[in-house]
Amino acid sequence: MDITTLNKQVQQDSLFLQDLKREVSKVIVGQEDLLEKMLVALLADGHILIEGVPGLAKTLAVKTLAQAIHAQFQRIQFTPDLLPADVTGTLIFNPKEGNFSPKQGPVFSNFVLADEINRSPAKVQSALLEAMQERQVTIGDKTYPLPRPFMVLATQNPVEQEGTYPLPEAQVDRFMLKVLVTYPTKEEEKMILERMASHQKIELNTRVTPEMILKARGVVDTIYVDEKIKNYIVDLVLATRNPKAVGLEKLASFIAYGASPRATIFLTQAAKAYAFLNGRGYVTPEDIKAVGLDVLRHRVLLSYEAEAENISAEQIVKQIFDTVDVP
């Protein structure tokens, strides 16, 4: 398929996303970047980690998106006493028949909100690993496929670290995007006051279905990525491992480990989804930059020297983007 034809198809097939964004905006004030990145992760078949202080509508945004798509939604409040079976499900003994039958957990939904995921121990966090990576869950000796689409949206509070269990690197790496949510502006705050101070329920009027999302994913896969764009993506990821190669010798001592090949894959998939979201059948360097920070910020592991100098992974990734030649 040539680019012109592909462009027309993408423009036609992505129209429903504008309706979806408009409907969600009836409930969510501001947070346009969060909404956009949630749609990118959804279209690219990825998961998203949302970090921000309490009260910034992280949970509400996820719930509203699920309602707008008429998909199954489950919220799991992660706590220190949560068990893996509370997430995935378990075998229940049936005394009448004398056997065990599976009881599926809340993870068997299209949208799973893992609220304050860093509040539970590693055993519970790892219960999500198979679900996130393989899109399946094993209960007893049987494996059950998860519904499609399936997406984990996890939230964590960056302020209060007492009694929390930081996500291990293997788990963090499973998230396609990590989005930081900030405070609203003065105008947005007033809109929130006017819209949310009353108890009037806001109705969403969308006809978007999970099947439409799956169809859109098929189109996203066909979006064209030029050879120069592929090289640009590879150069960015390699620069996180060997910053000296792009003339950033001063960053070498700040990086303990760079991004893995999964970052290369996710950066490509997220850029294709972002291009689709903007009605284009091809990826541009601007698409890479739009999603690059969210893909890489949790994949660059800092050294003790960086922590001592109070340098964040975000600062390092921004310097890499500013330095690597754009095609």
pLDDT tens per residue across span 288-301: 999 999 999 999 88
Cβ atoms within 10 A of the Cβ of 182, count? 12
Which residue in this structure is represented by tokens 């091809």?
282
| Intervals of the chain under pLDDT 70 | 1, 160-163
Sequence-distant (6+) residues with CB within 8 A of 102 are 89, 90, 91, 92, 139, 140, 142, 144
pLDDT score at 283: 92
Report the pLDDT value the prediction gives residue 291, as an integer from 0 to 100. Answer: 93
Beta bridge partners of 308: none
pLDDT at residue number 235: 92
**CB-based contact 14:216 (threshold 8 Å):** yes
* pLDDT the model gives residue 161: 64
Nearest-angstrom CA–CA distance, 271 and 232? 12
Fold of 223-323: Helicase, Ruva Protein; domain 3 (1.10.8)
Only one residue has tokens 């690059």, namely: 292
Q: Which residues contact 134 (CB under 8 A, 6 or more apart)?
A: none
Comma-separated ranges of CATH 1.10.8.80 domains in the chain: 223-323
Reported pTM: 0.88
Centroid of chain to Cα 173: 11
What letter does residue 271 receive in the DSSP assignment? Answer: H
Q: What is the pLDDT of residues 111-137, one digit of tens each?
A: 999 888 888 888 888 888 778 888 889
CATH 3.40.50.300 in the chain is located at: 29-212
pLDDT (0 to 100) of residue 163: 61
Predicted confidence at residue 1, as pLDDT, reads 64
Q: What is the pLDDT, as a whole number, of residue 238?
A: 92
Per CATH, which fold does 29-212 belong to? Rossmann fold (3.40.50)
